[in-house]
């Protein structure tokens, strides 16, 4: 209905305009060379209007003809963009499905159609990584890192590749570049912390890591690596405060106290740790100032008094007594250990030394030594430092496993039964 009304209104306007034109009086005459035209004013106005319309149409036609090349280019560009968008979609589907060949093929097609855009470069890189073509991925990531707004994506990809091939020097450089491109990201902070651990930059690791159960390990390692004695002491003290019963932490602090002339404080730390978790390394540290055999026996007694039923207390007493020639006391400590159900190899080896000192090079002595050594072959294994990740034994504690490289996994593994538990042989 509305269209009908509009049509009637338009028709009425045309009729009115035509009636007004027809009512215009006068004639118009024009001469062009040998040609002359004479007509009424309304007809002349109409002819002028037709001429203007014709000129406008001609102008539009010429402009249209002139724009045909540009229109063709725009059409081809739109077509390439549409095909490129479909290729991007197919790349995403192939990556999600783990299809290496189609992913690389469609990623290259998308790059050819859409150019060096961040999206296509990232897809090319990820498709290359999926297919194991790290060279293709690296080339795409480097091109991506040169783009101002997307450089972080390129640096992140290159950093991931450097970490995978354990190129820590390159990884550190890329981490700094990524930080400059997009500072403050949580992922990059975590990555930098891992790099600090891999490169043994323990002080930086402490600044980067958040709450972590391995922080005492980091403090111990930082103390070992720190050339400044005051700062090393501070690192060691933090390790001891956070893990006062962990032997490496105690020794890290006590060693620096001793180096600074605070022997009493160092011995107090070791004695307190012995009450909680006796360890052979603590005994070695506590007895180190004493060189005379009998003085070492007295020092061992003072230490063992803090935890008299511990197997470590009995062994340090037996060892120092044996070195001082007190074989009876040494044998007493071994008998007490056996009464507690301890059957470790080191006890049998000490027993063999006792038999050698007491009986000498006699037939009875040789028989007793052979029996002790035979018991050692079937005894329980001695406690040792062991990596809880790869279960490799370690001669000494390290902040990082020398076999698998994991940090904070070396722990003291002991088969000691609970204090007071005795085993009666049948």
Per-residue pLDDT tens digits of the chain, which is 426 residues long = 777 787 677 767 666 666 665 666 666 666 666 666 766 666 666 666 777 787 777 777 777 667 666 655 666 778 777 887 887 788 788 888 888 888 888 888 888 877 888 888 888 888 888 888 888 888 988 888 888 888 888 988 888 888 888 888 888 888 888 888 888 888 888 888 888 888 888 888 888 887 888 899 999 999 999 999 999 999 999 999 999 999 999 999 999 999 999 999 999 999 999 999 999 999 999 999 999 999 999 999 999 999 999 999 999 999 999 999 998 999 999 889 888 888 899 988 988 888 888 887 788 778 878 888 888 888 889 899 999 999 999 999 999 898 988 888 999 998 544 443 333 222
Chain segment 21-70, per-residue pLDDT in tens: 566 666 666 666 666 676 666 666 666 677 778 777 777 777 766 766 66
Chain segment 309-328, per-residue pLDDT in tens: 999 999 999 999 999 999 89
Tell me, what's the pLDDT at 412?
93
Tell me, what's the pLDDT at 29?
67
Tell me, what's the pLDDT at 71?
55
* 206 CB neighbour count, 10 Å cutoff: 18
d(CA 241, CA 13): 98
* 134 CB neighbour count, 10 Å cutoff: 15
Tell me, what's the pLDDT at 418?
40
Tell me, what's the pLDDT at 6?
77
3-state secondary structure the chain: CHHHHHHHHHHHHHHHHHHHHHCCCCEEEEEECCEEEEEEHHHHHHHHHHHHHHHHHHHHHHHHHHHHHHHHHHHHHHHHHHHHHHHHHHHHHHHHHCCHHHHHHHHHHHHHHHCCCHHHHHHHHHHHHHCCCHHHHHHHHHHHHCCCCCHHHHHHHHHHHHHHCCCHHHHHHHHHHHHHHCCCCHHHHHHHHHHHHHCCCHHHHHHHCCCCCCHHHHHHHHHHHCCCHHHHHHHHHHHHHHCCCCHHHHHHHHHHHHHCCCHHHHHHHHHHHHHHCCCHHHHHHHHCCCCCHHHHHHHHHHHHCCCCCCHHHHHHHHHHHHHCCCHHHHHHHHHHHHHCCCCEHHHHHHHHHHHHHHHCCCHHHHHHHHHHHHHHHHCECCCEEEECCCCCEECCCCCECCCCCCECCEEEECCCCCCCCCCCCC
- All structural domains of the chain with their residue ranges: 2-82, 382-426
* Residues in CB range of 144: below 8 A, 6 or more apart: 118, 121, 122, 125, 150, 151, 153, 154, 157
For residue 419 the two structure tokens come to 């204090």
Q: Are 113 and 84 in contact (CB under 8 A)?
A: yes
């Amino acid at each position: 209905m509305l269209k009908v009304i509009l049509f009637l209104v338009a028709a009425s306007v045309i009729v009115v305009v035509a009636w007004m034109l027809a009512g215009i009086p006068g004639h118009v005459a024009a001469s062009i060379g040998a040609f002359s035209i004479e007509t009424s004013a309304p007809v002349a106005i109409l002819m002028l209007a037709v001429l203007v319309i014709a000129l406008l149409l001609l102008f539009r036609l010429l402009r249209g003809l002139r724009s045909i090349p540009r229109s063709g280019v725009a059409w081809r560009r739109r077509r390439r963009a549409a095909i490129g968008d479909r290729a991007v979609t197919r790349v995403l589907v192939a990556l999600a499905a783990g299809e290496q060949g189609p992913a690389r093929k469609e990623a290259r097609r998308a790059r050819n159609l859409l150019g060096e855009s961040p999206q296509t470069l990232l897809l090319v890189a990820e498709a290359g990584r999926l297919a194991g073509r790290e060279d293709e991925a690296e080339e795409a990531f480097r091109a991506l890192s040169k783009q101002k707004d997307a450089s972080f994506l390129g640096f992140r990809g290159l950093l991931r590749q450097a970490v995978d091939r354990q190129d820590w020097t390159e990884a550190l450089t890329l981490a700094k570049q990524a930080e400059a491109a997009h500072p403050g990201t949580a992922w990059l902070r975590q990555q930098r912390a891992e790099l600090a651990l891999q490169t043994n930059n323990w002080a930086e690791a402490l600044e980067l890591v958040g709450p972590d159960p391995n922080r005492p390990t980091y403090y111990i390692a930082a103390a070992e690596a720190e050339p400044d004695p005051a700062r090393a002491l501070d690192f060691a003290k933090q390790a001891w405060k956070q893990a006062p019963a962990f032997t490496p932490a105690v020794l890290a602090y006590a060693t620096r106290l001793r180096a600074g002339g605070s022997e009493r404080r160092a011995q107090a730390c070791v004695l307190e740790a012995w009450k909680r978790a006796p360890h052979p390394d603590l005994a070695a540290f506590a007895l180190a100032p004493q060189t005379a055999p009998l003085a070492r026996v007295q020092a061992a007694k003072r230490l063992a008094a803090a935890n008299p039923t511990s197997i470590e207390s009995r062994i340090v007493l037996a060892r120092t007594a044996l070195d001082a020639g007190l074989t009876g006391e040494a044998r007493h400590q071994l008998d007490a250990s056996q009464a507690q159900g301890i059957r470790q190899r080191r006890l049998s080896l000490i027993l063999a030394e006792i038999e050698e000192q007491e009986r000498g090079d006699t037939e009875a002595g040789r028989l007793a030594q052979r029996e002790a050594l035979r018991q050692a072959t079937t005894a329980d294994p001695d406690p040792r430092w062991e990596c809880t990740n790869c279960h490799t034994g370690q001669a000494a504690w390290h902040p990082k496993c020398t076999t698998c490289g994991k940090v904070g996994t070396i722990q003291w593994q002991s088969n000691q039964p609970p204090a007071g538990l005795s085993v009666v042989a049948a």
